[in-house]
A = this chain, B = another copy of it.
Amino acid sequence: MATEHPGPGETELSALDAHWRAANYLSAGQIYLLENPLLRESLTSRQIKPRLLGHWGTTPGLNLVYTHLNRVIRARGLDAICVWGPGHGGPAVVANSWLEGSYSENYPDVGRDAAGMARLFHQFSFPGGIPSHVSPDVPGSIHEGGELGYSLAHAYGAALDNPGLLVACVIGDGEAETGPLAGSWHSNKFLDPVHDGAVLPILHLNGYKIANPTVLARLPEAELDDLLRGYGYEPLQVTGDQPPLVHRAMAVAMDRALDRIAGIQRAAREEGAAERPRWPVIVLRTPKGWTGPAEVDGLAVEGTWRSHQVPLGQVRENPEHLRQLERWLRSYRPEELFDGDGRPVAEVLACVPEGEARLGANPHANGGLLLRDLPAPPLEDFAVHVGKPGVGLHEPTRVLGALLARMMAETAERRDFRVFGPDETASNRLDALYEVTGKAWQEALAEGDENLARDGRVMEVLSEHLCQGWLEGYLLTGRHGLFASYEAFVHIVDSMASQHVKWLKTARKLPWRRPLASLNYLLTSHVWRQDHNGFSHQDPGFVDHVLNKSPEVVRVYLPPDSNTLLSVAEHVLHSRDYVNVVVAGKQPCFDWLSLEDARAHCARGAGAWEWAGSEHTGREPDVVLAAAGDVPTQEVLAAANLLRHHLPDLGVRVVNVVDMTALMPRDLHPHGMPDGEYDALFTRDRPVIFAYHGYPWLIHRLAYRRAGHPHLHVRGYQESGTTTTPFDMVVRNDLDRYRLVMDVIDRVPGLGVRAVGVRQAMADTRTRHHAWIREHGTDLPEVAEWRWTV
């Protein structure tokens, strides 16, 4: 592995440099030029964009990496993609894609000629054109160039179960300061050299972020080496600002890294080596804004943070800036790089691989091309038997676990399905999975370890960021997965979820991007059952966050029991291009619906449970009791039971909502119920007491346009809780059965004197509850032993 590489010869070096210069030229051109793309004439200020928007600083480094990846892909016949962490460098990745031809294949109006180059330049950061970041529009990208922190996790996610794939990953030294990136280095403890591909991190230290030096670039080199070794990598250094020397050093480092990777894979796959390998990392130190203006208006720019965005800011107004820009652009010698028609010359393209080997055309970076349907085992094999509603008790997520285990078993050969969770898979009752696969783990094993396996497809690490980032990388490369999290802690990835929704929203509009498997969240250990924890673990607001996002992408389900969870899970796991949020309990929960009823209920999204209300009396409802979520459903049914007993003449309709977006107007969400349907279900004029799993305002937000909205009264989580009993939680938040009955009595007019007594009895029971739990530490026996009775 330690063979000395002589590096490329002079001809090859010259060709690499030509490619790099061409990419740099095309990048700067995108930022500045409206016309005159080939500089056939002297630049005039009219040819300059009126608003200069873009990020030059990181761009030459990205161009260097792209050029050298081209070389090794071609030389070694690699199957490779690259994650571009410094996504600000949109011009770089677009330029390279145009050079290799993949851009024009996806956007035929931007051809690989002078006219196409003019369009390429014009469209960048221009209204009606393309954004300045590496976005879904960019061929070969699986990584949004927005918020920093997730490139390396995406890269590892892409490499999982892709043994033939190399995933290069450029990490900027700005991004490297983020927590999620700092934690992502340890992903190598979870990558199996036999069944997974390789990740080649390229830590690009250009020294500066927007306005400051970076922490890692200013470390003494030995300290940074310690850090990377401590993370489990073998660092390879490339440092310089002289292009020929850097090309040579980069080529040598790339060869060393790839030899090392090949050696690791050979040892693991052919020789059965079982120890965790020390994968290579390339540390690339080149100046920020390299080859751009050294100095502008007397201030150093190249090699400083001043080159972060647009090095020359007044090109239209300031003739000196215009002259400097022209000198800069001509320094790449475009006349040597592009022929008379504006096409890249042969030398420029000498390093570029062909067909799907090109970074912009590799199908792994357009994962929908490779996506296969997940197996669909019959739900009948997993459903719980429900003779009479509300008698049997099951842990819904445990029931789901058996289905997931079957899917895991049926993908054992294909290896395109994984379950991700922060150390909580068993806590979340999904441990049936361990009967068919292990938890991925490459570190040492110790006595007593359970269910750890090098080739395991359950991913557990105490980092929601890693779970989310790995899963995103896995999905974007055409596979399937589920992220199971404690409900409270999923806010950790609010921002990542938001970016993935944005990605999907944009990607869905691109005909060449093929649909991906949805990103599926299972949120459990939810707000109502934090028995071991308490207030700090209570937060049902992820649903609110997600529902602010594009309705064409987001879906939210609150299945009230085991069979509805199965039905929802089957649906979401086979869906495409969505972000699905499923909130379900792990604690024993009454079985309300048979599988058949559950399927019908989930298909409708919301519906009346006739058996629970007074429909059998033929009476029109005086009140609607609605619920969304497992605990609210139980309280609503208990309240319906109390009403039937105490106020038998009251017309009660019980409604259950599984699909939260069914409440939205149809014109705001495709799942929204038409008004007629909504009115028929909830009535236009009767009081609706709605018990909701999360923050109550969400229901108002979704339903405010409905005719019956003035009569809607919502109970939900009011940010009140501690370590206490399950029933005390609902009492503290006024979501309990007794409170709901009181709400009904308070809102249905003309109930008469009997209702006054019932109301008092309910209030008395709540008082009794408070006394009881303080004395006994457990719930009132009548609550603990409650069953649905008709």
Residue positions of A touching B, CB distance < 8 A: 34, 49-51, 53-55, 87, 125-133, 135, 144-149, 174-175, 177-186, 189, 207, 209-215, 218-220, 223-232, 300, 303-304, 309, 423-427, 439, 441, 443-444, 446, 448-449, 452, 460-463, 465-466, 488-489, 491-492, 494-495, 498-499, 502, 505-506, 531-537, 539, 541, 544-545, 548-550, 695, 697-698, 700-701, 704, 709, 719, 722-725, 728, 773-774, 776-778
Contacts and interface: CB of A to CB of B under 8 A. Distances in A.
B506 A535 contact: yes
Contacts of A300: 448
A125 B723 contact: yes
A549 B147 contact: no
A207 B125 CA distance: 50
A709 B446 CA distance: 63
B215 A186 contact: yes
Nearest to A190: B215
A466 B178 CA distance: 8
A476 to B, nearest CB: 15
A146 B488 CA distance: 10
Contact of A224 (B180, B230, B498, B722): B230
A184 B178 CA distance: 9
B230 A223 contact: yes
A549 B541 CA distance: 9
14 contacts: A127-B725, A131-B722, A149-B492, A177-B466, A179-B181, A179-B184, A179-B465, A182-B185, A183-B183, A186-B215, A210-B423, A212-B439, A229-B230, A549-B719
Nearest to A695: B548
A66 to B, nearest CB: 21
Contacts of A214: 462
A538 to B, nearest CB: 8
A145 B722 CA distance: 13
Contacts of A498: 491, 539, 541
B723 A536 contact: no
Q: Would you call the interface of chain A mostly helix, strand, loop, or mixed?
A: loop
A672 to B, nearest CB: 13
A189 B215 contact: yes
Contacts of A215: 186, 189, 443, 461
A151 to B, nearest CB: 13
A225 B230 contact: yes
A548 B541 contact: yes
A177 B466 CA distance: 9
A212 B770 CA distance: 38
Given A548-B719, A723-B53, A131 B535 contact: yes
A697 B130 CA distance: 29
B535 A724 contact: no
B189 A183 contact: no
Contact of A548 (B87, B544, B777): B544
Given A177-B461, A463-B178, A535-B135, A446 B213 contact: yes
Nearest to A426: B211
Given A131-B723, A506-B535, A544-B544, A227 B231 contact: yes
A532 B449 contact: no
Nearest to A469: B179
A230 B230 CA distance: 7
Contact of A719 (B146, B219, B424, B550): B550
Nearest to A180: B179
A131 B427 CA distance: 20
A300, A309, A449, most chain B CB atoms within 10 A: A449
A739 to B, nearest CB: 17
Contacts of A213: 441, 443, 446, 449, 452
Contact of A776 (B50, B210, B225, B728): B50
Given A128-B773, A443-B219, A462-B178, A532 B424 contact: no
A463 B174 CA distance: 9
A127 B777 contact: yes
Contacts of A462: 148, 174-175, 177-178, 209, 214
A179 B210 CA distance: 22
Nearest to A700: B704
A151 B300 CA distance: 40
A50, A147, A499, most chain B CB atoms within 10 A: A147
Listed from nearest, the 3 A-B pairs whose CB atoms lie closest are A227-B230, A146-B536, A179-B183
B49 A777 contact: yes
A620 to B, nearest CB: 25
A207, A210, A489, A778, most chain B CB atoms within 10 A: A210
Given A227-B227, A230-B231, 12 more contacts: A49-B777, A132-B532, A135-B534, A177-B461, A182-B182, A182-B183, A209-B462, A212-B441, A212-B452, A303-B448, A506-B535, A701-B701
A180, A300, A452, most chain B CB atoms within 10 A: A180
Contacts of A180: 179-180, 183
A487 to B, nearest CB: 12
Nearest to A183: B179
Nearest to A718: B550
Contacts of A128: 773-774
A54, A183, A778, most chain B CB atoms within 10 A: A183
Nearest to A491: B495
Contacts of A178: 179, 183, 462-463, 465
Nearest to A226: B230
A722 B132 CA distance: 9
A495 B495 contact: no
A709 B712 CA distance: 14
A427 B211 contact: yes
Contacts of A145: 536
B719 A709 contact: no
Contact of A424 (B210, B539, B548, B695): B210
A683 to B, nearest CB: 18
Contacts of A541: 498, 545, 548
A300 B449 CA distance: 11
Nearest to A303: B448
A178 B535 CA distance: 21
A412 to B, nearest CB: 22
A460 B423 CA distance: 32
A472 B384 CA distance: 48
A128 to B, nearest CB: 4
A466 to B, nearest CB: 7
A228 B452 CA distance: 26
Contacts of A778: 50-51
Given A147-B489, A178-B183, A494-B495, A532 B55 contact: yes
